[in-house]
Amino acid sequence: MEHITIITVNFNQPQVTIDFLKSVKANTSAKYVEVILVDNGSREDHEEAYMLVYPELVYIRSTVNLGFAGGNNLGIKVAKGDYLLLLNNDTEITENLIETMIAEFDSHPEIGILSPLLLYFDQPEIIQYAGFTEMNYLTCRNKGIGNMETDKGQYDGDSRETGFCHGAAMMCRKADLEAVGLMAEHFFLYYEELDWCEHFKKAGKKIWFTGKAKVYHKESISVGKESNIKTYFMTRNRMLFIRRNTDLLNTLLFSVYYVVFACTKQIVVYFLKGRTDLVPWVFKGILWNFTNSKNSHKLGFKI
């Protein structure tokens, strides 16, 4: 059995992270699985509690919040496994998850990143993710496959190429990162896994989904469904993703569509919902892209 490194990132969610570690311990063998927990600028240090649950844990504490990509990259840099499995700390895994996913890599060497079937933890019969359609780069829109369907086993034996992986659970070979590189920390939050998938594609690798393995996801624990931080980074990063992954003409056409139509529509929705507090963050997300290069590490948001 190849050695596997599971990497997860915690930010002020000690109990959620403890439940995650219990799930990993119950469903893996420490003989071939290395678990790295990156504590990403949390207010309190709960290392002792984590070690009680998982004594073999590799614990890394960052004094500042480095974002999703930055936190995972800290773990990737020290990981010893042949395969890396990046899991949100608000997930719980199932038996044979790792073995099943590695078998897919063995059967399909062209795979660069692989994500399993994601189900909602609080509603385990409801599917969150069974793949993504390809991206329309003029609108930066695609669709989730299987999202909100009732799980009747329709994806259980399904393994195939897909548009993008899901950041809550994705596996890759460590060796491939020599060509692909780490996740881009320019995003901080949202779209970094889509950007990473684009880099795998450019390196000649495929993005795959498998329904043979399942993970349960406690969606929207880290960030509320509507908040300043989510509005800002979703607005900012959608445009940044296009700037980083398409040519100048596509970027210009997208920018017209995005500013004139998509963002205007979002602002109207916020007014109708009585969430006028979120409107300035739409403008700030757009403005960042007109005042910063696509490779800028400036966040434009005080964390």
Region of 47 please: left (phi>0), alpha (psi -120 to 50) or beta. alpha
State the pTM of this model: 0.95
Output the CA–CA distances (angstroms, integers) from residue 259 to 28, 105, 269, in the order listed: 47, 41, 15
> How many Cβ atoms are within 10 Å of 231's Cβ, its own excluded?
21
Distance CA 184, CA 193 (A): 9
Angle at 303 between CA 75 and CA 19, to 5 degrees: 50
Largest pairwise CA distance in the chain: 55
- Paired tokens of 292: 């910063």
CATH architecture of the domain 4-217 equals Alpha-Beta Complex (3.90)
Q: Compute the distance between CA of residue 65 and CA of residue 9 in angstroms, rounded to an integer.
A: 10
Question: Which residues, including other chains, have CB under 8 Å from residue 66's CB and lie 6 or more apart?
Answer: 40, 41, 73, 74, 185
SS3 179: helix
Three-state SS for 147?
Answer: coil
pLDDT for the residue numbered 167: 97
User: Given the DSSP bridges, would you call strands 111-120 and 206-217 parallel, antiparallel or unpaired?
Assistant: parallel
**pLDDT at residue number 256:** 98
Tokens of 180: 């692909």
Domain range list for the chain:
4-217, 228-291
Read off the pLDDT of residues 227-237 as tens digits, 9 standing for 90 and up.
Answer: 999 999 999 99
Residue 234: the pLDDT is 97
Non-local (6+) Cβ contacts of 204 within 8 A are: none
Give the pLDDT score at 1. 62
What is the block-wise mean pLDDT of the chain (303 residues), using blocks of 10 residues? 91 96 93 95 95 97 96 98 97 96 97 97 95 98 96 96 98 97 96 98 98 91 70 98 98 98 97 97 98 96 86
Distance, CA of 195 to CA of 13 (rounded, Å) = 26
Instruction: Tell me which residue of 86, 98, 82 sits closest to 176, measured CA to CA.
Output: 82
Could you tell me the two tokens for 230? 């989510």
Contact by Cβ (8 Å): 142, 167: no
How far apart are the C-alpha atoms of 57 and 21, rounded to whole Å? 9
* One-character DSSP codes across 221-272: SSS-SS-HHHHHHHHHHHHHHHHHHS-HHHHHHHHHHIIIIIHHHHHHHHHH
> Strand 58-62 vs strand 91-93: parallel, antiparallel, or unpaired?
unpaired
CA 173 to centroid of chain Cα atoms: 17
